[in-house]
Amino acid sequence: MQTSELTKPHRSITATTAFLAGPALMAGYGVVRLIGRAVGDYGPGVWWSVAHVLFLAGVLTFVPVFLGLCRTAGVRGGRRARLRAARAVGLLGAAAVAVQAVIDLVVGFLAADEEAMSDMFEKVQDVPGVMPAVYTVVPMLFWLGLLALVTQLAFFRRDDVPGWSPLLVLAAVVMMAMSLDLLAVGALCIGLALHPMRRGLRG
């Protein structure tokens, strides 16, 4: 009992911090990416590496976000099972996105120029199954899992999750699907959507 009581506040602090840090790191990736492209130096080098370190850190920081959303008190039975299913989908997507970020970092480190980067990416993506598993299909589960969790909580926990939160997450997903140039704005929308839920995790 004492161990549980001592660790519960620590878990809550970690999750609530992640609710801010995850979107902030994603937004940082979007901003650094835009700056690198604006100065014409978004290939192998500092801008690429910094952007993708932020990208990887942001994805990993969303793991406690998924866990925290699913751990919200007061949701039992079939509702809890549906939340856990959405969490599993989101975490699977997060794993795929993390692998993508690692590949991008390694290629950026090894390649001498943009042409070499393109050749390396082509070789990686030509491996059977890599494109859907790492770049196209499975990574989308990250965003869909997040949207499913927030949408369900908007119905199950209306006192903690406002109705506009899933709409902001949906807007963010649509914007980022349209263009990575909108990633920073999309991350801001997700941060705003998650902010009210931090209170529920403290309870």
Q: Closest Cα partner for 69 from 22, 108, 129, 106?
A: 22
Contact 142, 63 (CB under 8 A): no
pTM: 0.87
Determine what percent of the chain is predicted with pLDDT higher than 90.
68
Q: What are phi and psi of 35, to 5 degrees?
A: -65, -45
If pLDDT is split at 50, 70 and 90, which confidence band does 199 have? low
How far is it, in rounded angstroms, from Cα 64 to Cα 47?
27
pLDDT at residue 1 above 70?
A: no
Region 25-29 average pLDDT: 97
Note the pLDDT tens digit of each residue in 54-87: 999 999 999 999 988 887 656 677 788 899 999 9
pLDDT at 46 over 80: yes
